[in-house]
Amino acid sequence: MQNSLPYRIFFWAHRWFGIVAGLYFVLFGITGSYLVYEATFDRWMYPDRFVSESAADAIDIPRYVATAQAGLQTDRPPLRVTLPESASENVSLIFNLADIGTAPRNVRVYIDPSTFAFKGAYELWESFGVIMRTFHHDLFLGAAVGRFWMGLSGVLFMVILLSGLWIWWPKLRFLKKSLKWPNLRSLYKGAIDLHKFFGIYSLLLMIAVTFSGLYISVPSWFQIGGKPSAPRPPDITSELPEIDFSAIQTQLASHGLLNRPLRVNYNARDQSVTVRLGEGQPGQTYDVVSKTLIADKPHEEGPKPFEMRRFQREVHGGDYWGRLGEILTFTSGLLPLFFWMTGCYVWWTKRRLKAV
């Protein structure tokens, strides 16, 4: 069966797509693994930005905003105010400092909730995490072009995965032996056996992560009559109105919602303010005119209806399986490096042996 035409085609595709495009997928995998634990890595790299000098029980959203505005020397309202669950972590705010009608220029600010000290600010493009995220999402090519190429990359990686299954499958009569830990008799033979062993055991995980990434990048490919996404319009098209964060905090407190974790989001396009509460809790929309909080749409207060894209996002990021899912997704991002190194080593060694 190894001499059959389908086998030779799949073997050729698996070898050359893997060798030539393998390093490309290694970078995707490493950036994806980083993003699974992005917050943890950021805390390791920039502890001063995240850790407060002491725990702060009181919450003062207006003062966080005023301190951040003073530090940035701007009177614009923040697009987001995030209070983490732990009172010993700093509050973060995001401001868009771009001129009207231009591309976003987002700046993140950190405020110590216990001392209200300005702990620093940086443009998101200067963040290592944002660089990793942008490469992983659209290759620095922009949403339309980048996500199209990400879709093609997902298809190519699916070909590599499924061709590997085809190559392994003809040896079904040796199924029991193939599923056992290999006998690492030599570096060359061990590289082959380990490539097969980890490949077959991680196949379903790799397919799930790859397909979910493909779906997220180009959902229109999976929708009848789907159209490419339109270019994103500028975030700021007119002068932003003043947002009364004191009124927002008062409304939250009156509803018993002024608790950590908490996120206040301001949408500059429709000038709406939403408040996201703790994980799994219903959201609230703040009416800037009446200065009142109203619950989100009724269906959001109960079980959410099934949405394919949200489901694929949870699978891709590991959230669908909880803590175990994060570990599996993190591992799946490192496996392409192992497969590429062992595959290249086997190909190069076999090539040298034939030349002798």
Distance of CA 165 to the CA centre of its chain: 28
Looking at residue 42, its amino acid is: D
Higher pLDDT, 103 or 265: 265
231 within domain boundaries: no
Q: Which residue has the tokens 């996201």?
A: 276
The total of structural domains in the chain comes to: 1
148 within domain boundaries: yes
pLDDT value, residue 328:
95
278 within domain boundaries: no
Q: What is the pLDDT of residues 116-158, one digit of tens each?
A: 999 989 887 777 888 899 999 999 888 889 999 999 999 999 9
Helices 128-138, 143-168: inter-axial angle, 10-degree rounding: 70
Nearest of 68, 61, 53 to residue 82 by alpha carbon: 61
Using the predicted structure, report yes or no on whether residue 281 has a pLDDT greater than 60.
Answer: no
Nearest of 162, 163, 167 to residue 178 by alpha carbon: 167
Higher pLDDT, 112 or 101: 112
Average pLDDT, the chain: 85
For the stretch 34-45, what's the b/e string if a residue is b when 16 or more beta carbons lie within 10 angstroms of its beta carbon?
bbbbbeebbeee
Higher pLDDT, 66 or 229: 66
Q: Are 333 and 30 in contact (CB under 8 A)?
A: yes
How far is residue 219's CA from residue 197's CA, in Å, rounded to a whole number? 32
Average pLDDT over residues 13-27: 94
145 within domain boundaries: yes
What is the band of 301 on the pLDDT scale with cuts at 50, 70, 90? very low
What is the band of 299 on the pLDDT scale with cuts at 50, 70, 90? very low
The dihedral built from the CA positions of residue 50, 52, 56 and 61, taken in this order, carries a sign that is negative
Q: If you ran DSSP here, which 8-state letter would residue 51 be given?
A: B
Query: Torsions phi, psi of 351, nearest 5?
Result: -65, -40
> Which residues are 269's β-sheet partners?
none
Q: Which two tokens stand for residue 164?
A: 């590997």
Helices 38-45, 5-36: inter-axial angle, 10-degree rounding: 50
Highest mean pLDDT among 50-54, 270-274, 352-356: 50-54
Q: Which two tokens stand for residue 3?
A: 């001499």
The share of the chain scoring above pLDDT 90, in percent, equals 44
> Which residues are 324's β-sheet partners?
none
The dihedral built from the CA positions of residue 146, 325, 281 and 56, taken in this order, carries a sign that is negative
- Strands 262-267 and 91-96 come out as unpaired
332 within domain boundaries: yes
Q: Which two tokens stand for residue 198?
A: 């980890």
Distance of CA 128 to the CA centre of its chain: 14
How far is residue 197's CA from residue 176's CA, in Å, rounded to a whole number? 12
Higher pLDDT, 58 or 159: 159
Average pLDDT over residues 193-199: 93
Average pLDDT over residues 214-231: 74
How far is residue 332's CA from residue 34's CA, in Å, rounded to a whole number? 11
Higher pLDDT, 110 or 1: 110
Highest mean pLDDT among 6-15, 277-286, 327-336, 345-354: 327-336
Alpha helices in 169-217 (DSSP H): 175-178, 187-201, 203-217
269 within domain boundaries: no
Using the predicted structure, report yes or no on whether residue 261 has a pLDDT greater than 50.
Answer: yes
73 within domain boundaries: no
Least confident span in 116-130, 290-304, 311-325: 290-304
Nearest of 27, 23, 17, 33 to residue 164 by alpha carbon: 17
Looking at residue 246, its amino acid is: S
pLDDT value, residue 300:
46
183 within domain boundaries: yes
Q: Give the range of the structural domain holding residue 146, as residue numbers without chain letter.
A: 5-19+140-224+321-355
pLDDT value, residue 255:
80
